[in-house]
Structure 1
Amino acid sequence: FGDGSFTGKGLYHVDAFEAALKNRIDENTILSHDLLEGALSRAALVTDVELVEDYPTRYSVDASRHHRWARGDWQLLGYIFDPRGVPALSRWKMVDNLRRSVTPIFWVLACVAGWTLLPFTQAAQWQALMILSLFMAPTFDIVNGILPKSGDQTPRGHFSALARDTVFGTALVALKVLLMAHLAWMMGDAIIRTIYRLFVSRQNLLEWRTASQAAKGGNDLGAYYGMMYGAVIIGVVGLAIPVLADSTGAFVAFFFAIFWI
């Protein structure tokens, strides 16, 4: 498309940046600004600069960051429906970010629907299909890596790397399933919180919890239960619904309730 995305790491030409964005973004309304800034002021590619950024080493810190990102993505609703100079491709990227944030919610809802409406065998098949859907992204990466990218790599080294990628992708999907209930709760909280602040309270739109602040929280089991209580609620409710509906799919729900509780 001849258009890239500014991801928040780069060099600013301050005067040009301010001129491009002047009077185009309301004060104190935008939390996740990278995509919007890049869409309005455009970005150039630099290939001879290396930027290094720390990645969170604790789930609580990473979850706090994703919660903030989701809130920022939903704050861009106004630019999706009223472009104000934002190109169509950039608005599509904004919509895709919203799609990404609601995916865990609909994944959990689809699972609960399967447990409730389907008998055991079909519920198990439906659940297997739901889990397989999570393998799409890792599978693309693995397929892309089947053919060697360099002639310097030995066949043994290539297939060893491919095996590691396969194991890593499988572990990533397993971890995502274990955390899906919390992801769904967290994204739901971010979406509802943002919509309320956008259209009702008009306050705390720039609420920001830094990585260092998030890291100050406890790192024991009790602290994580305090942070992830939403997963417990979803696990209990997700099991209770098929049980109350007298569905044999509740046996499938039981295993996921154990993981999520």
Structure 2
Amino acid sequence: MTTLDHSPAPVLAPRPDSLEQKRFRRYLLGLSGTTAALLAAGGLALAAAGLLRWAPLVLLVAFPLAVRIADGLSRMCLMTLLRAVPEPPHLAGPKLAPAMAATAVVYPAIVDGQADVDALVECVRANRDVTGRGPAMHLALVDLADSPHEHDPGDAALAAAIRAGLAGLGPGPAPVAVLFRRRLWNPREGHWMAWERKRGKLEEFVALIDGRTDTTFAVDTAEDRAVVERLGAVRYVLTIDLGDRLQPRAARRLVATVAHPDNAAVVDPARGIVVSGFGIARPINVPARPSTWFEWATYPYRIPEGIPSARQAAFGSDEFYGQGVLDTHAYRAVLAGRIPPDSVLSHDRLEGLHLRAAAVTDARLVEAHVGDYLFFRAREHRWVRGDTHVLPWILGRRGLTRLPGAERLCMARDLLSHLYSAALTALFALAWLAAPAGQSGWWTLALLALSAHPIVFTSLMPQLLAVRGVLTGPGEHSVRRIAGAWRRGLRPSGRLAVAETARWLIALAVLADMALVALDAVIRASYRTTVSHRRVLQWTSATRAGRVAPGLGTRLRRLWPASTLALGLGLVAGWLDPVRLRWAGPLLVLWLAIPVLAYRLSQPAPRLPDVSMT
């Protein structure tokens, strides 16, 4: 019988620069060069138009826009032009069974009502059915919602409902259980809450596996103690968020990857990060079928199975989005106690940078998406705040893990990309208010063309992927075969161009509102991270955020700032010169009508186009 090695993650000196690290530096060099070229072209255009005095301000505002365009071009080149780094090996056959038996599938959840209970039970049921036999257990890790009190009157009823719902699933291929955490008083947040939310939950769960008893998990009943006793045999933790569902065999492929000896995590003791191998194996997220036009306009395209992400293909590792298999030994070696309390909301990225994540292309997870615009903007606000909280790591603050410079630059790139909508909105305002009246139209058209870059990049992908398949596959690499592959990609490219144009128009309609959302999130998070150090962990559960009143009145109350901004810009442009409104008018009307558009786009749509990269 094959047994697992439960020794700690190996600690070795860092290895010499690998092919992946060299490619990473070349990618950053290309990103920087393309960004600089775009800004230089903008400076030359301003000089030719006699607006050189505006160049410093315009180029500063345009910096996030240039970074976004350069990043889109770089990712397209990475996915289609570079020869992919070989995928990591995985266990197979009888060697996989012991690793699966040492895997716990966990469902971290914040429960705030019966809707959360139902979502949790359904998530466990769906994923238990598809994972089948193999995992040691399916375990719900539950925090009750924040409260002014340590114990709420409804806590016992919610806990009983969760236990009853999970018990109602009946016998299955693996046992199902639940563990609850106690609330602690958090003076920085101003209420009773579970320690460090999901990040704290995972850290304490790993401590529980180690046999520690000083966690906030409530191990009060015989059933709880029996669950904790079974954790001693757990080495791997597969974490799944509510509403998401693994596809068949995905769990086995994830465990098979992270448990392979050749993928063992190698830790650099000086930096406290994994420098080789993997501490995480994550699935490829694929969207559920959209139900509204807005959901269709924002959900990612279906990429054919077997095609890795741009980062995985080029650099051999990928970003972590919070769902996948963690090696608890590697987690313990590099993350236990490493992130200061009350310092970061979106912890997934930091965990991935510490542990090094592998994206497993044939392990797929169907991800719940957002159909209502108000729910989407609330989630976007939380994501922007979370990415802003990592500023101390980007700046290399003393006392924190010193991440590689290339990774810190990528985090800065992602933070800048959140300011894309604000930058583009500001540039439109400058074109309408500051440029000479005779040039206002040309600058508006130039900005519209730049904002349409996803149409070009996305519509080219099928053809480039088809050509890449010929160049990297067996057989001769003749011009005839390459031309045939290019022609085969024309039809899907045309469909993608039409779909991306519709998405672009919807993105333009919500541009001003998303600019205000991003600015508010960045300012709030920056102040909380650097000055007040309070309310960093502000969180609204998905079900509570999704409780949006269905009427138009709710949209009017929430979205009036964007409409007010559009009205103000229109009044000033008209006062300066009515001619400016010829070019500003169409966009300003869209922004003014954002409450109505958000309402209409969030209504269920019976038929939506189905587009993919092939």
Deviation (angstroms), 1:55: 0.9
Q: AA paired with 1:51?
A: L
Deviation (angstroms), 1:44: 2.9
Following the alignment from structure 2 to structure 1, what is the Cα–Cα distance between the partners of residues 486 and 534? 58
| SS of equivalent to 2:367 | coil
Match of 1:53 among 367, 377, 382: 367
Query: Which residue matches 1:219?
Result: 550
Match of 1:92 among 401, 409, 414: 409
| 1:119–1:248 CA contact under 8 A, matched in 2 | no
Q: AA paired with 1:63?
A: R
Following the alignment from structure 1 to structure 2, what is the Cα–Cα distance between the partners of residues 197 and 69? 15
1:201 aligns with 2:515: no
Report the more deviating stretch, 118-127 or 66-75: 118-127
Match of 1:132 among 431, 449, 460: 449
| 1:117–1:247 CA contact under 8 A, matched in 2 | no
Match of 2:516 among 176, 185, 197: 185
Query: Which residue matches 1:254?
Result: 585
| CA offset digits 1:52-100 (Å, max 9, x no partner) | 2111111112111111110001111101111632112221221111111
Q: AA paired with 2:368?
A: D
Q: 1:17 to 1:236 in 2, by over 3 A?
A: same
Gaps of 5+ in 2: 1-23, 25-314, 471-483, 593-614
Alignment of 1:54-73 (within 5 A): 54-73=368-387
Following the alignment from structure 1 to structure 2, what is the Cα–Cα distance between the partners of residues 24 and 225? 44
Q: Over aligned residue pairs, what C-alpha RMSD do you find?
A: 2.3
Following the alignment from structure 1 to structure 2, what is the Cα–Cα distance between the partners of residues 253 and 167? 24
1:6 aligns with 2:320: yes
| 2:421–2:514 CA contact under 8 A, matched in 1 | yes
Deviation (angstroms), 1:154: 10
Query: Which residue matches 1:142?
Result: 459
Deviation (angstroms), 1:237: 2.3
- The answer to which structure has the higher helix fraction is 1
| 2:375–2:548 CA contact under 8 A, matched in 1 | no
1:26 aligns with 2:335: no
Query: Which residue matches 1:122?
Result: 439
| SS of equivalent to 2:340 | coil
| 1:39–1:87 CA contact under 8 A, matched in 2 | no
| 2:570–2:585 CA contact under 8 A, matched in 1 | yes
TM-score (norm 2): 0.40
Deviation (angstroms), 1:234: 1.6
Write out the 4+ residue segments of structure 1 that deviate beyond 6 Å after TM superposition: 153-157
Deviation (angstroms), 1:158: 4.7
Query: Which residue matches 1:16?
Result: 330
Identity fraction in percent: 27
Following the alignment from structure 2 to structure 1, what is the Cα–Cα distance between the partners of residues 562 and 496? 29
Following the alignment from structure 1 to structure 2, what is the Cα–Cα distance between the partners of residues 175 and 130? 16
Following the alignment from structure 1 to structure 2, what is the Cα–Cα distance between the partners of residues 39 and 245? 51
Gaps of 5+ in 1: none
| SS of equivalent to 1:49 | strand
Q: AA paired with 1:96?
A: R
Higher relative contact order (CA 8 A, sep 6+): 1
1:44 aligns with 2:358: yes
Bigger Rg over Cα = 2
Q: AA paired with 2:549?
A: G
Following the alignment from structure 1 to structure 2, what is the Cα–Cα distance between the partners of residues 246 and 138? 33
Deviation (angstroms), 1:119: 4.1
Q: 1:148 to 1:94 in 2, by over 3 A?
A: closer
1:163 aligns with 2:477: no
- The answer to which structure has the higher strand fraction is 2
Following the alignment from structure 1 to structure 2, what is the Cα–Cα distance between the partners of residues 60 and 6? 26
| 1:21–1:37 CA contact under 8 A, matched in 2 | yes
Q: AA paired with 2:531?
A: V
| 2:425–2:512 CA contact under 8 A, matched in 1 | yes
Following the alignment from structure 1 to structure 2, what is the Cα–Cα distance between the partners of residues 166 and 94? 30
1:176 aligns with 2:507: yes
